[in-house]
Structure 1
Amino acid sequence: MTQTYLPEQDTRVTQIIYVLYLAGLITGSVTTLIGAIMAYVYRGDASPWLREHYRYLIRTFWIGALYGCIALLLGVIGIGFLIMPLLALWLIVRCVVGLKAVRADQAPAKPSSWLW
């Protein structure tokens, strides 16, 4: 017997991942890492428009990790603390844009973007 995936289930998982990313701002990067793993796991069984969300979420994780490393390295010379709030704002905006699109049953407008 094969299991079929309902769109409601798919959108719930996607929304949970966005919330996990936002929770990462409070808990550290643990929930963000869990969300990224979930995005990798669920993307294969998703409908095409939800695959774009998973792609967007995976890119958000890796781009955020890159920006975080840059901020950490720049922290050595004293300007990394200026970048961290901008990184948090970037993550919030990406997650809100993604949540808004998934609740409208649409793919993110620019899944390949480095900004939002």
Structure 2
Amino acid sequence: MTYRPIENWSLHEPAAYGSDGGRFVANLNYALYIAGFFTGITAVVGVVLAYLRRGSASVLVRSHLDWQIRIFWHCILAGIAIVVLHALVIGLGALTFGVGLVFMVVPWAIGAWWLVWTIWAIVKGLQRLSRGEPIR
């Protein structure tokens, strides 16, 4: 296999499945991630599908599947941080007879950041996929 810079990648290499090189799967995953805001479990289905399909996808679709995997793990880490901070602030509130609950704004701010970043990442991926561009 020869080295090819990203500018020279063939974005429409044949894939082991589907004539679209897997674009349907990438679009489906973005839809599953959007539904994940309401159900949670569909995001897990999406990341499993991304892991299963990225080996046989075209270069273009593989970049999107890798992006979707990255989105999932960033969301898991943000969720853990939010839960831990909520527990710490509630504990602080219990120790200070409720005064420490003013710090509840910290996990809420991280939650708002997580929501905005995740929506941005999904929209960015959908836009680039619709234009036939990889995620860099």
TM-score bin, normalised by smaller chain: 0.7 to 0.9
Question: 2:128·2:134 contact (CA, 8 Å) conserved in 1?
Answer: yes
Q: 4+ residue stretches of structure 1 with deviation over 4 A?
A: none
Q: Between Structure 1 and Structure 2, whose CA radius of gyration is higher?
A: 2
**What corresponds to 1:81 in structure 2?**
108
2:17 and 2:119 map into 1 onto residues whose CA distance is: 32
For 1:56, give the aligned amino acid.
W
How far apart are residue 4 of structure 1 and its match? 4.5
For 1:71, give the aligned amino acid.
I
TM-score scaled by length of structure 1:
0.83
Unaligned 5+ runs, structure 2: 1-15, 90-103
2:121 and 2:17 map into 1 onto residues whose CA distance is: 30
Identity %: 29
Q: Secondary structure at 2:18's aligned position in 1?
A: coil
Q: Provide the aligned C-alpha RMSD in A.
A: 1.4
User: Are 2:64 and 1:48 equivalent residues in the alignment?
Assistant: no
Pick from 13, 22, 30: which aligns with 1:10?
22
**What corresponds to 1:97 in structure 2?**
124
User: Are 2:69 and 1:58 equivalent residues in the alignment?
Assistant: yes
Aligned residues: 105
TM-score scaled by length of structure 2:
0.72
